[in-house]
Chains A and B, each alone.
Chain A
């Protein structure tokens, strides 16, 4: 298996982007955007995460199986969160008192 060595330049670029995104996320938090505040904060966090996974963690050059493993992790986290929230969000939907 040939090992893919990432050039230092790439790492430095990612570092710079990550640090700028951190500054941006703080800046954005102090602006009043309503609901968009949360969406912006989470979007930036997701972008940062994707960069770390793809470059620092070398997922970009990893096998499809590794991609699958990572995907499984997020899908199952999604199951946990969405089916739990499904309860909290839908309280009262069907007009039953207290439920």
Chain B
């Protein structure tokens, strides 16, 4: 019973090692549920894309490849800073940890800001699905289907980003209060895994949505 007296060890665990292995496994399992969650959306996309390829391409040309590309870079950069944050936590360096957390948050917010600009353009161009949708092309119905998917997929992704930024803020508070150490950095690691996962989703969204039939 001596082991339970350790301050960061929860009573159901026998050792820190067991606790860390459990937390990490739990996070990976959670990410699997996220794969399946986004997987539903990807399935919808994969079903419709071959059926209405031309309409999808025509609609995709209304997306801003520049902004999309910049956002991809921003997100990849944020993954890097996140990885650096986890590394700082592993080494117990609280100063760098705080810096990298702030950087990651800023990059995340940049991404969301750019996304917001893109959404506003779509709104102004009447490309929001619904009664106000206007599209001059051969197959406006399936162009609308494309934009439905575009908003569903990027919207879900953005929601995950917002949650991620919130969690990062909470981590920052924990760091400032000295609650993160080389012994107890599971939360940082889990947040990192989550953040990288969200990045991976975007790595697929970018070519699937922005890069159709550009030649």
Contacts and interface: CB of A to CB of B under 8 A. Distances in A.
The answer on direct contact between A and B (beta carbons under 8 Å) is: yes
Interface of A: 1, 3, 5-6, 8, 11-12, 14-15, 18-19, 22, 25-26, 29-33, 37, 41-42, 44-45, 48-49, 52-53, 55-57, 62-63, 65-66, 69-70, 72-74, 76-77, 80-81, 84-85, 88
A48 B84 contact: no
Given A5-B90, A22-B72, A26-B211, 11 more contacts: A11-B80, A19-B76, A30-B215, A32-B215, A44-B207, A49-B200, A57-B197, A76-B39, A77-B42, A80-B39, A81-B43
B43 A11 contact: no
Contacts of A48: 200, 203
Interface in B13-43: 17, 20-21, 24-25, 28-29, 31-32, 35-36, 39-40, 42-43
A81 B28 contact: no
Which residue among A29, A32, A33 has the maximum number of chain B CB atoms within 10 Å of its CB? Answer: A29
A95 to B, nearest CB: 21
A5 B39 CA distance: 32
Contacts of B203: 45, 48-49, 52
Contacts of A3: 90
Contact of A18 (B39, B40, B76): B76
B79 A8 contact: no
Given A15-B76, A80-B39, A65 B200 contact: no
B211 A29 contact: yes
Contacts of B196: 52-53, 56-57
Contacts of A19: 73, 76-77
Main secondary structure of the interface of B (DSSP, over half): helix
Given A5-B87, A88-B47, A73 B35 contact: yes
Nearest to B211: A29
A57 B39 CA distance: 20
18 contacts: A1-B20, A5-B91, A11-B87, A19-B73, A19-B77, A25-B207, A29-B211, A48-B200, A49-B204, A52-B196, A55-B83, A56-B199, A57-B196, A57-B197, A69-B29, A77-B39, A80-B40, A88-B50
Interface of B: 17, 20-21, 24-25, 28-29, 31-32, 35-36, 39-40, 42-43, 46-47, 50-51, 65, 69, 72-73, 76-77, 79-80, 82-84, 87, 90-91, 192-193, 196-197, 199-200, 203-204, 206-208, 211, 213-215
A81 B46 contact: yes
B209 to A, nearest CB: 11
Contacts of B20: 1
Nearest to A68: B28
